[in-house]
Structure 1
Amino acid sequence: MGGGRSSGGSKNSTKPRWSRASSTIIYTSEQVRTLTPIRENIERRSSVPELRDVFLCHAWDDRKEAAKELHDQLEAAGVSAWFSEKDVLLGSTLLREIDKGLAKSRVGIVLVTPSLLRRVQGEGIADKELSALLARDLLVPIVHGTTYEALRDVSPLLGSRSGLNTAEDTMAAIAAKIAELVTL
């Protein structure tokens, strides 16, 4: 899944300040501009105990494919990810567990897919997660199988934020960028 280049390189590539000297991960200037305020918020929250690195917001329909792939790539990159498929235990209250997951995560990533766009319009659980994440400047949209234009049609607030796109980077490259972003 995902497409594009594996390194995320481009003619306007740069290294962000949080990237180690030995890192081979390449960012576009736009990605650095987008991710820098989020990194600053992560650094401010570094003293909060027991935080997960990321909260993965996704559509229910994506839980076994794109969201699981992203989750697995994040975990492989050393990122602790809150993921409803593994963090909500049978018999627990879904909304309460999501609320706790949101509160105990450094940053939120939203996997924007055609399924998520449908779910947000239906004002389901993904819409509630998205609303909570939009209230803080700790949100990175990851567009997969759709476009920012389609996102702006459904959620102008989320669509106004730049992020990462699987049309430009593979899921593995995106996970590596998120890992660098959240590693303190």
Structure 2
Amino acid sequence: MSVWFSEKDIVLGTPFMREIDKGLAKTRIGLALITPAFLKRIEGGGVSEKELSELLARDQLIPVAHGVTYDEIRAVSPLLGSRNGFSTEDDSLEVVAKKIAELVAV
């Protein structure tokens, strides 16, 4: 499988939003690591909100809750909180990673 990660794959000096747009266009499955800091960014209406909207619209988002509960996610984003996903409260990051690898291998 190939992985595109905006912080790693966008070369300095290139148009940030255009590169994210191209990455989203090629995406089959999008993972979002939902942390307390991530929820604050969503509330602020930044890039994270735009990326999430696109992945939610195409039914391609798998949330991974880390340090937050799904109730906390639903309080900020009912659509995001309603998605089936994973939680590091239930499984370790290693177990979550293995489950994701199995899922995307299909």
TM range (shorter): over 0.9
Aligned structure 1 segments of 4 or more residues deviating by more than 4 angstroms: none
Residue 126 (structure 1) aligned to one of 42, 45, 48: 48
- Name the structure 2 match of 1:167: 89
Could you tell me which amino acid in structure 1 is paired with residue 9 of structure 2? D
Residue 140 (structure 1) aligned to one of 39, 62, 67: 62
TM-score (norm 2): 0.95
- Name the structure 2 match of 1:10: none
Q: Work out the CA distance in 1 between the residues paired with 2:61 and 2:77.
A: 14
Is residue 2:71 matched to residue 1:149? Answer: yes
- Name the structure 2 match of 1:88: 10
Of structures 1 and 2, the one with the larger relative CO (CA 8 A, separation 6+) is: 1
**Which of 1 and 2 has greater Rg?**
1
Could you tell me which amino acid in structure 2 is paired with residue 171 of structure 1? L
Residue 19 (structure 2) aligned to one of 97, 104, 109: 97
In structure 2, list runs of 5 or more residues that go unmatched.
Answer: none
Q: Work out the CA distance in 1 between the residues paired with 2:78 and 2:27.
A: 24
Q: Work out the CA distance in 2 between the residues paired with 1:161 and 1:123.
A: 20
- Cα deviation per residue 1:15-66 (whole Å; 9 max; x = unaligned)? xxxxxxxxxxxxxxxxxxxxxxxxxxxxxxxxxxxxxxxxxxxxxxxxxxxx
In structure 1, list runs of 5 or more residues that go unmatched.
Answer: 1-78
Q: Work out the CA distance in 2 between the residues paired with 1:80 and 1:148.
A: 28
Q: Work out the CA distance in 2 between the residues paired with 1:99 and 1:126.
A: 12
- Cα deviation per residue 1:135-183 (whole Å; 9 max; x = unaligned)? 0111111000011011001000111112100011111111111111111
Could you tell me which amino acid in structure 1 is paired with residue 53 of structure 2? S
Question: Percent identical across equivalent pairs?
Answer: 58
Is the contact between residue 52 and residue 61 of structure 2 (CA under 8 Å) also seen in structure 1? no
Q: Secondary structure at the match of 2:28?
A: strand
Give the number of aligned pairs: 106
